[in-house]
Amino acid sequence: MARPPAFPAEEKVRIVLSILAGELSVAEAARRAKVSEQSVGNWKRQFLESGRAGLVAGKSGPSTREQRLEAEVTELTQALGEAAVEIRVWKKSAEGRLGPSRTSR
């Protein structure tokens, strides 16, 4: 038997919220969506577990934008450190060829 097409996440959320609000039973929601009661029960369980995980953590994790910015800061910090090392090497190399620089202490 062919598998039915996947439901969009927004539709699953709408169905689960209707069940949680007492507007529909799991059986009624399954009949309307033309899916099994087990599928609707799984959606509800997944929804509740995800919500529980958020409450256990105390707050939601960093947003995608925050994650990108943190990665960029890490990358730029590393590049800055590498550039500082290169400058020191170049200065030492130049001192060997030109004598001590006036800016070195």
Task: State the pLDDT at residue 64.
Answer: 83
Q: Is pTM beyond 0.75 here?
A: no
What is the residue type of 5? P
Task: State the pLDDT at residue 33.
Answer: 93
User: Residues 26-85: pLDDT tens digits?
Assistant: 999 999 999 999 999 999 999 888 877 766 665 556 778 888 999 999 999 999 999 999
Structure tokens at 72: 């960029």
Task: State the pLDDT at residue 49.
Answer: 86
Instruction: Check if the beta carbon of residue 37 is closer than 8 Å to that of residue 28.
Output: no
Count CA atoms closer than 13 A to 82's CA, side-chain side: 6
Task: State the pLDDT at residue 52.
Answer: 72
Task: State the pLDDT at residue 56.
Answer: 66
Residues with Cβ within 8 Å of 41's Cβ and at least 6 positions away in sequence, in order, are 26
List the domain boundaries for the chain. Answer: 6-57, 60-96
The residue assigned the tokens 């029960």 is 41
